[in-house]
Amino acid sequence: MRVRRNGSAQPTAQLGILLALIMGATVLGVVRMAQQANAWGPSVGDIVSFAHVRPAFSPRVAFDVTRLGPAGGNATCRLDSRVMRKTGGSLVVEAIQPTGAYVARWVGGATSAGARNCGESAEVLLKATDVAALATSAGGFGVDH
């Protein structure tokens, strides 16, 4: 800054350029983080394994999902982590749809008690938050948590 004869300061061009560069770098960093946010979610091939042993921190989650059937015959069924842990099995992320939905395959025992059970083998449609909640309940991603 230049100082005038009366003691007041006058901003210089260098200060304006510096502020513009800082603001540009901040905006660029925020945009870059937003672009990478999708990489933080589950990936194709991720496995959630429900062992009979209960992890130290394992909240119970239960929610309805869409079960994908042959020739578009979709139905609703229920995933209950308590039942899935009791019967054992694994959930594998098979694909991510353009809408952001996850296609996952369950293989194991029952997924819930009662008539809304998805079965011992089912292809289901999940949100990223659903996959993350199931992984938290199972103790993490992978076979050996």
Angle ∠(80,51,77) on CA atoms, nearest 5 = 25
Rounded to two decimals, the pTM is: 0.68
Amino acid at 134: L
Q: What pLDDT is stored for residue 145 in this prediction?
A: 45
Q: What pLDDT is stored for residue 26 in this prediction?
A: 86
**Using CA atoms, how far apart are residues 43 and 38, in angstroms rounded to an integer?**
9
Find all residues with CB under 8 Å of 53, minimum gap 6, and list them. Answer: none
CA proximity to 106, closest of 57, 56, 65: 65
- As averages over each run of 10 residues, the pLDDT of the chain (145 residues) reads 61 78 83 63 88 72 90 85 91 92 94 92 93 88 65
Q: What pLDDT is stored for residue 81 in this prediction?
A: 92
Q: What pLDDT is stored for residue 72 in this prediction?
A: 65
Q: What pLDDT is stored for residue 66 in this prediction?
A: 93
